[in-house]
Amino acid sequence: QVRLVESGGGVVQPGGSLRLSCAASGFTFTSYGMHWVRQAPGKGLEWVTFIRYDGSNKYYADSVKGRFTISRDNSKNTVYLQMNSLRAEDTAVYYCAKDSNWGCHDWGQGTLVTVSS
Amino acid sequence: QSALTQPPSVSGSPGQSVTISCTGTSSDVGNYNHVSWYQQPPGTAPKLMIYEVSNRPSGVPDRFSGSKSGNTASLTISGLQAEDEADYYCSSFTSSTTWVFGGGTKLTVL
């Protein structure tokens, strides 16, 4: 079955950087686009970014454009989220999700990012 | 990229039906059938319940159904069960080639 495992979360100071990883298994990774979605403590879901199956196109929410970069390594079945210039408002659980039929069909368990001095 | 509008909370008794609305604009819900619904019990990751407005992934009970009219999508849960108590989110693809979520609706089973 589909398995998505996020890692790389932690505590980082404002202005700092962090790279999240999402290891995928149980499906043909090279055939699917991938999303990152975040959820601030006690808040709702916020879509962050999407990458097509072959990495040819990437899309971002305005709130992270220019600071976050999504990438993927299809040889490692892994998608990444490079987060720079982090702000307090980026504090959230970050989920990766497999796209199917224009929705987030399968989700990982999430990794917590805390931006604090 | 304004969030889609959902009611903060809905409630119903076991066996009853409830409907959760999700209002967007002609740039998202009104222009695409790429509307999804997610269920998130406390402390867990979201789970896809409906995709492409009205389709259920395998394993989702047929008590869950989706529809759309104009700029508003709806999720209906019939025959409410205690296990349905959770937060529910809608999502839509947008004309900016992004996705947007609703603010979420807390379902309470009385």
Q: What is the pLDDT of residues B75-106, one digit of tens each?
A: 999 999 999 999 999 999 999 999 999 999 99
The whole-angstrom separation of Cα A70 and Cα A34 is 9
Mutate to test the interface with A, among B28, B75, B98 (most CBs of A within 10 A): B98
Minimum distance, in Å, between the CA of residue A29 and any CA atom of chain B: 19
Report the pLDDT averaged over residues B3-20. 96
Report the pLDDT averaged over residues A28-35. 97
Minimum distance, in Å, between the CA of residue A44 and any CA atom of chain B: 6
pLDDT of residue A38: 98
Residue of A50, A63, A103 with shortest CB distance to B36: A103
Label each residue of A41-99 as H, E or C: CCCCEEEEEEECCCCCCEEECCCCCCCEEEEEECCCCEEEEEECCCCHHHCEEEEEEEE
Question: Average pLDDT of chain B?
Answer: 96
CA contacts within 13 A on the Cβ side of B77? 28
Report the pLDDT averaged over residues B54-79. 97
Measured in degrees and rounded to the nearest 5, phi and psi for residue A76 equal -115, 5
* DSSP at B79: S
Residue of A61, A101, A104 with shortest CB distance to B1: A61
pLDDT of residue B2: 83
Report the pLDDT averaged over residues B11-37. 96
Cβ pair A109, A2 in contact under 8 A = no
Q: Which two tokens stand for residue A75?
A: 């040889």
Q: Which two tokens stand for residue B83?
A: 């296990």
pLDDT of residue B21: 98
A39-95 tens-digit pLDDT: 999 999 999 999 999 999 999 999 999 999 999 999 999 999 999 999 999 999 999
pLDDT of residue A89: 97
A107-117 tens-digit pLDDT: 999 999 999 99
Q: In angstroms, what CA-CA distances link A66 with A9, A93, B95? A: 20, 20, 20
For residue B1, is pLDDT > 80?
Answer: no
- The number of residues making up chain A comes to 117
* Contact (CB<8Å) B93/A102: yes
